[in-house]
Amino acid sequence: MKNIFITMICGTMIFLTACEKELDLPPLDSITDQELAFSRTEMELYANQFYTMLPNFESMVYGDLSSDNMIYFTYLFNGRLAGTIVVPESGGGWSWGTIRALNYFLANYRKTQEPIETVGPYIGEIHFFKAYAYFNLLQAFGDLPWLSAPLNTDSEELFDPRLSRSVIADSILVNLDKAITLLNPKNATPAGRVNKDAALAFQSRVALYEGSWEKYHAGTPFGVANSDPNKYFRKAADAAKQLMDTGGYSIHSTGDIEGDYWRLFNQEDLQANPEVILWRDYDVEFGFSGTHQAQNRLLSDGTFGSVSKQLVDSYLTTDGTPISVSALYQGDATVELAVANRDPRLTQTIYQIGHVQRIVGVDTTYYERPFLNLPARNANTTGYQLFKGTDPDAPGGGPGGQASTTANPIFRYAEVLLNYAEAKAELGEVDQAVLDESVNLLRDRVGMPHMDANIGFTDADWEFPSLSPLINEIRRERKVELACENFRFHDIMRWRAHHLILRPLTGAPFAQFENMPWSPPLGEIKVDDNGYIYPFKDTPGWQFDPAIHYLSPLPTQQLVLNPNLTQNPGYD
């Protein structure tokens, strides 16, 4: 993948300096038809600028801090969850520069003199990135203008109203259809470049999101008139199944049920991994390190790595039943008891005493206790320390490290299987065959019993008691498999599941840590009436208002500039 980043350096130099001959070229978003011939090389270099939109390790881990999976030291981390978000004068994510740059390409690429088989994949990349950029805006703001041309200051389209989110979602899916047609599969695409398989995976994600949103927000201020959620569930299932039927992907497994899941997230090269559809590579030599401050902190002081009891409690026991009914559950008095007889993904997600924490030369450091004794933002806030995503011998990682080359999966096959299972469940089409070709492949990696289409238990702690046992268990599988990968916030939003973030979020029982040898000494640790660490005790905590905070506000400046825009519900 490093080739794409090397090319990005060169591309930036070419476009900004024109190789010393045309130092006064205008910026990318104002290149005229005469300045860009849309050769294959120019298309590749132009497309490269949009790869920075793809997530890195930090955004993956930080994302779950805005959910019930993890707890930051302050409830103010996410203004929407905290209920403190205000209408900005400008900015706030309402930005259209990227869309304009993408539209410039789409409006002008037909002047190319090169055959479509040569330049088609780069056109496909631009359609993919337009879908990607619009989906980010859709998740944040809902209804949007749909822009199809690169606008100027006097363009009439600057005064377009917002269109229904379903129209925007349909347009995103159309762009992905075009991308799927033009792009090549991963095995016929240069390493690191967007491929047909990634576009299919993304299409299943987008369609599942919109179908869920329209179903579960129906009848609220965020609902869609005359909505048809099943249309999107069908699209999600079809896109996922198309990728599944290629036979090109499988769940990464060497037979090590206690390590394969964790190991997937601490490798430097994922190109040959059968589960990874698209990944992000880092090369310190060329200045493209992971800038893994998050990973360095996970290894050295645990910052950003505080897993909630609510996530820990979601993992099944090894007999395939939840802790509320299983005789195998040994309670949670200590972390060691809490993980005993549990889904092996739990011990590969949170640290256990004796886990290798850091390897530097011949010196190995082993995990002894969570970082409860560090000040404020550097502290572990729950007693459950994130292990997933750590790389003990990562070059440049660990204490004092400034760069890491641990690769970051962007799309992986596990998500596709989960999208498929959930979409089929929403359509009422799940039978044992569907589960065996999706969810149960994930369970096979960790040696867990298969999910049965006839869920054979009732969990008093199901997160969605009004929904079917099958949907509850498929959502549970998604929660544990994709934990701390920046899915949970968006899942809560699309499911209209604000009850999960308004409940008290806690950590482990504090008593197990009190008599450990702490240096520096422990400060005040807040606990609830049952002795569980309760970081947000004596604070307002998250004050998410379901009548307002499911979407972000538009900036007032834009509402003044374009009187045809309307503000999102509750922000007026």
Predicted confidence (pLDDT) at residue 368 exceeds the cutoff of 60: yes
Which tens digit of pLDDT belongs to each residue from 219-251? 999 999 999 999 999 999 999 999 999 999 999
Describe the crossing of helices 165-182 and 116-141 by its angle, rounded to 10 degrees. 160
Output the pLDDT for position 116: 94
- Separation between Cα atoms, residue 181 and residue 196, nearest integer Å: 8
- Separation between Cα atoms, residue 151 and residue 99, nearest integer Å: 10
Output the pLDDT for position 153: 82
Q: Is residue 208 within 8 Å of residue 423, measured between CB atoms?
A: yes
Which tens digit of pLDDT belongs to each residue from 281-318? 775 544 444 445 566 667 666 678 899 999 999 999 99
> Higher model confidence: residue 436 or residue 17?
436
Residue 343 burial (CB count, 10 A):
24
> Mean pLDDT throughout 170-186?
98
What are the beta bridge partners of residue 358? 365
Residue 515 burial (CB count, 10 A):
7
- b/e sequence 252-291, b meaning 16+ C-beta within 10 Å: bbeeebeebbbebbbbeebeebebbbbbbbbbeeeebbbe
Q: Is residue 140 within 8 Å of residue 85, measured between CB atoms?
A: no
- Separation between Cα atoms, residue 120 and residue 129, nearest integer Å: 14
- pTM here is 0.93
Q: Single out the residue of 4, 486, 61 nearest to residue 282, CA to CA.
A: 4
Which tens digit of pLDDT belongs to each residue from 181-216? 999 999 999 999 999 999 999 999 999 999 999 999
Least confident of 84-93, 146-155, 184-193, 507-516: 146-155
Predicted confidence (pLDDT) at residue 401 exceeds the cutoff of 70: no
- Separation between Cα atoms, residue 330 and residue 309, nearest integer Å: 15
- Separation between Cα atoms, residue 44 and residue 394, nearest integer Å: 31
Question: pLDDT grade, residue 572 (50/70/90)?
Answer: confident
User: By three-state DSSP, how is residue 273 classified?
Assistant: coil
Least confident of 30-39, 116-125, 207-216, 308-317: 30-39
Output the pLDDT for position 56: 83
Which class for 156: exposed (0-12), middle (13-18), buried (19 or more C-beta within 10 A)?
exposed
Q: Is residue 144 within 8 Å of residue 162, measured between CB atoms?
A: yes
Length of the chain equals 572
Contact partners, residue 30, CB within 8 Å, separation at least 6:
none
Beta 363-366 vs 356-360: how paired, if at all?
antiparallel
Which tens digit of pLDDT belongs to each residue from 340-363? 999 999 999 999 999 988 887 888
Residue 334 burial (CB count, 10 A):
17
> Mean pLDDT throughout 92-99?
96
Output the pLDDT for position 61: 78
> Mean pLDDT throughout 317-321?
98
